[in-house]
Amino acid sequence: MAALLGACVPAASQAASPQAGPDSASALVAAMRAGRLAPDSLVRRYRARIARTDAGPDGLHAILALNPDAVAQAAALARMRRVRGPLYGLPIMVKDNIETRDPLPTTAGSLALLGNVTHRDAPVIARLRAAGAIVLGKGNLSEWANFRSAHASSGWSAVGGLTRNPYDRARTACGSSAGSAVAVAAGLAAAAIGTETNGSVTCPAAVNGIVGLKPTVGLVSRTFVVPISASQDTPGPMTRTVRDAALLLGVMAGSDPADPATAQADRHRADYLAGLTPDALRGRRIGVLRFAQGKNPELRAVFDAALARLRAQGATLVEIGEFDRKSLGDAELTVLLSEFRTGVNVYLAQTPPAVKTRDLTALIAFDVAHADREMPSFEQDIFEESDKAPALSDPAYLTARATARRLAGAEGIDAMLAHDRLDALVAPTTGPAWLTDLVLGDRPGDGTGAGTLAAVAGYPHLSVPMGRVRGLPVGLSFIGTAWSEPALLAMGYAYEQAMAGGQGLTPQQFPPDGRSPGRPANRSGN
State how far Cα 155 lies from the chain centre.
Answer: 12
DSSP run (H or E) holding 185? helix 178-185
Q: Which residues contact 15 (CB under 8 A, 6 or more apart)?
A: 21, 507
Q: Determine which one of 13, 26, 95, 477 is catalytic.
A: 95
Round to whole Å and give the CA distance between 125 and 374: 29
Burial status of residue 58 (CB atoms within 10 A of its CB: 0-12, 13-18, 19 or more): middle
As a whole number of Å, the CA-based R_g of the chain is 21
Round to whole Å and give the CA distance between 122 and 481: 27
* Residue 176 designated active-site: yes
Round to whole Å and give the CA distance between 160 and 157: 5
* Torsion from C-alpha of 352, 353, 359, 361, nearest 10 degrees: -140
DSSP run (H or E) holding 469? strand 461-469
DSSP run (H or E) holding 144? helix 143-146
Q: Return the bridge partners of 79, or none.
A: none
| 24 in Cβ contact with 18 (< 8 Å) | yes
* Residue 338 designated active-site: no
Interior angle at CA 465, CA 318 and CA 61, nearest 5 = 140
Strand, coil or helix: what is 12?
helix
Q: What is the largest CA-CA distance in the chain?
A: 61
Q: What is the DSSP secondary-structure string of 123-170? A: HHHHHHHHTT-EEEEEE--SHHHH-S-TT--TTEETTTEE---TT-TT
Identify residue 218 by its one-letter amino acid code.
G
Q: Determine which one of 142, 153, 154, 200 is catalytic.
A: 200
Round to whole Å and give the CA distance between 499 and 18: 9
Q: Which residues contact 49 (CB under 8 A, 6 or more apart)?
A: 8, 187, 188
Round to whole Å and give the CA distance between 156 and 159: 9
Q: What is the DSSP secondary-structure string of 326-367? A: HHHHHHHHHHHHHHHHHHHHHHHHTS-TT----SHHHHHHHH
Query: How far is CA 147 from each of CA 263, 299, 343, 374, 389, rounded to the nearest angstrom?
Result: 27, 28, 13, 14, 14
Q: Determine which one of 142, 149, 154, 176 is catalytic.
A: 176
Residue 316's closest CA among 279, 280, 284, 278?
A: 284
| 232 in Cβ contact with 334 (< 8 Å) | no
Round to whole Å and give the CA distance between 57 and 65: 17
Round to whole Å and give the CA distance between 493 and 280: 8
Name the residues annotated as catalytic.
95, 176, 200
